[in-house]
Structures are given as structure tokens and as C-alpha cells.
């Protein structure tokens, strides 16, 4: 079963082959670093079908480790259809990058995601953080999301909503 925080062998292997010490990444504060991070931000802050389709292959490497609250993928050709399907399921998605931190050659991006569900007038927001590692070409090879979809997604499903409310009352 998929888990966003399970330390399974796929995750552990990804930590090894994506280790920043094995890749030549831009120097701290360099123009190359700024451009690399700008490509990621431009991808997510212009979260449309067309932009995802055009930009994902430039921003992400062919072989990757990607894990979010729902799925885990190892190849760009698996991840891209998942992302495109997700954007088609809603009326709009807005990302704001609130803070970017670099530590030991990897990047942690705190973000706010706002989703406008179909047939809804207003956006609903949630916060999260993603951990990124890059290859020597400045492409994403490791992307791990840390995000709780409970209030934004799961509580929209009637049975899940009831179960979540039941558990919350017991804690």
C-alpha cells in the first residue's frame, strides 16, 4: 500500500541514487541555481494542462523518484499522465511558493496550493512542503511531497468524511 511517509526500499534506493554528492548541482546563490529553481516554480505556478505538458519534460528527468499523498512514480512517462489527469479533474489550481530552503545540496519548498473544484465558485487552500533533488543537468530527479490531503480532498468523500470525523472525536 502506498504511503507518503513509509521508509520502503524504493524510497531508500532513491535516496542513494539521487544523493546530491553524486550530481553536480549549481553553487549556492548562483544564477544557475536561480534558473533551476525558477523552472520548477514556473511549472507549478502556471499549473495548466498545456504548461504541464510542455514544461514537465524540461523540468523533470526521465528517471525520477516522485511520491505524493496518493501515488509514487519512477518514470516521467508515468508521472506526466498522472499530473495531466489531476489538472483536468478541477477547474483551477494555484500554487504559491512561500519559502525555499537549500540544505546539503537538496531543496525544500514550502508552498500553498489552492484548488477550485468543478462546479464550485471559490478556491480551497492547503499548505505543504516538497523535497527536491536535481541531477547535473538541473532536472528534478527526486520529488517527495509532504502534504495532508484530509481537509481538502478526503473530507469531500462522504464515507471518508464520516470516518475522519469519527476518529477526530475519539482523539
Domain borders along the chain are: 9-170
Buried b or exposed e, range 136-155, using 16+ CB within 10 angstroms: eebbbbbbbbebebeebbee
| Distance of alpha carbon 98 from alpha carbon 128, whole angstroms | 10
| Distance of alpha carbon 23 from alpha carbon 90, whole angstroms | 36
* Confidence band for 4, pLDDT divided at 50, 70 and 90: low
* Confidence band for 148, pLDDT divided at 50, 70 and 90: low
| Distance of alpha carbon 70 from alpha carbon 65, whole angstroms | 14
Question: What phi and psi, each to the nearest 5 degrees, are found at residue 125?
Answer: -120, 155
CB atoms within 10 A of CB 67: 24
| Distance of alpha carbon 70 from alpha carbon 154, whole angstroms | 11
Q: pLDDT for 74-114, tens place per residue?
A: 999 999 999 999 898 888 899 999 999 999 999 999 999 88
Whole-prediction pTM value? 0.85
With helix as H, strand as E and coil as C, how does 25-74 read? CCCCCCHHHHHHHHHHHHHHHCCCHHHHHHHHHHHEEEEEEEECCCCEEE
Q: pLDDT for 47-56, tens place per residue?
A: 999 999 999 9
Question: 9-170 architecture in CATH?
Answer: Roll (3.10)
Q: What is the predicted pLDDT for the residue at 150?
A: 57
Nearest CA to 64 out of 50, 48, 87, 82 is that of: 82
Instruction: Tell me how far CA of residue 68 lies from CA of 2, 26, 33, 169, in angstroms.
Output: 9, 26, 24, 27
Amino acid at each position: 500500500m502506498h504511503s507518503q511517509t513509509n521508509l520502503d526500499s524504493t524510497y531508500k534506493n532513491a535516496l542513494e541514487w539521487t544523493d546530491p554528492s553524486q550530481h553536480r548541482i549549481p553553487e549556492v546563490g548562483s544564477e544557475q541555481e536561480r534558473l533551476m529553481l525558477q523552472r520548477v516554480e514556473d511549472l507549478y505556478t502556471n499549473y495548466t494542462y498545456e504548461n504541464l505538458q510542455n514544461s514537465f519534460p524540461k523540468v523533470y528527468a526521465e528517471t525520477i523518484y516522485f511520491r505524493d499523498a496518493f501515488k509514487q512514480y519512477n518514470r516521467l512517462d508515468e508521472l506526466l499522465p498522472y499530473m495531466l489527469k489531476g489538472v483536468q479533474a478541477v477547474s483551477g489550481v494555484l500554487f504559491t511558493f512561500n519559502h525555499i530552503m537549500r540544505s546539503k545540496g537538496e531543496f525544500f519548498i514550502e508552498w500553498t496550493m489552492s484548488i477550485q473544484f468543478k462546479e464550485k465558485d471559490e478556491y480551497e487552500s492547503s499548505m505543504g512542503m516538497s523535497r527536491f533533488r536535481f541531477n547535473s543537468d538541473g532536472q528534478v530527479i527526486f520529488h517527495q511531497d509532504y502534504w495532508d490531503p484530509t481537509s481538502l480532498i478526503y473530507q469531500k468523500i462522504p464515507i471518508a468524511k464520516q470516518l475522519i470525523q469519527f476518529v477526530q472525536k475519539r482523539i
